[in-house]
Amino acid sequence: MYSSKLVFKKNILKSFVWIMIITFTFQCANNFSDIFPDSTDKTGSNSASGQAGTISTNLQVTDMYGNQYPLYNDLAGVKGSVYYFTMWCSICMAHSGEIINNIKPSYTGFNYFLVDYVSSTPSQTRQLSDYFAFTGLIGVLNDGSGSLLSYFHATMSSVVVIDSTGRIQMNEDFKDGSRLRSVLQSL
């Protein structure tokens, strides 16, 4: 009797593992489109939107106070705007700290924003900004709708720089910040 229960549990466990493997494989099937990269673009016809060198659409997002905020709102009179996409993880907090403490003071004349794309409401964004003590140090936008995330094909730690004419000068991962510094220096 004891051994049949053990065999039954092993079979259930094996079945569960196989179900998880099959589920993972089907869920990730679309992510393997470029496992062997070459020079062909496999991203589709809309891949140019939001990329460096193109003119940005004046998208509307919400700030952490619930106000509608057009991207072009603050481009007049500045060199450009910097948008860092955060999901409030430890990597994002380190990058945000680097932007606030080192990049922002060294490259003045730009607007700097954190874009919270994981919180569904502006009040959640404000709570996180307050918790991490960013309120008042940097602009914080709520992209609960995912409009910026989608338009810029962004993800965690993406940085987008839009110059004063609306042209996207950078759209890539933060990494160590050296590329961001180089772009800001050129403007």
Tally of structural domains, the chain = 2
Q: Point out the least confidently predicted range of 13-27, 34-48, 101-115, 139-153.
A: 34-48
**CB-based burial, 86-119: b 16+ in 10 Å, e otherwise:** bebeeebeebbebbbeebbeebeebbbbbbbbbb
94 in the same domain as 22: no
Summarised one tens digit per residue, pLDDT across range 131-169 is 988 888 898 999 988 888 888 888 888 999 999 888 889
Q: Which domain holds residue 77?
A: 60-186
CATH number at residue 74: 3.40.30.10
pLDDT per residue as tens digits for the range 66-119: 998 887 777 888 999 999 999 898 898 999 999 999 999 999 999 999 999 998
Are 6 and 67 within one domain?
no
Q: What is the mean pLDDT of residues 156-184?
A: 91
- Can you give the pLDDT at residue 31? 44
- Is 129 within the bounds of a domain? yes
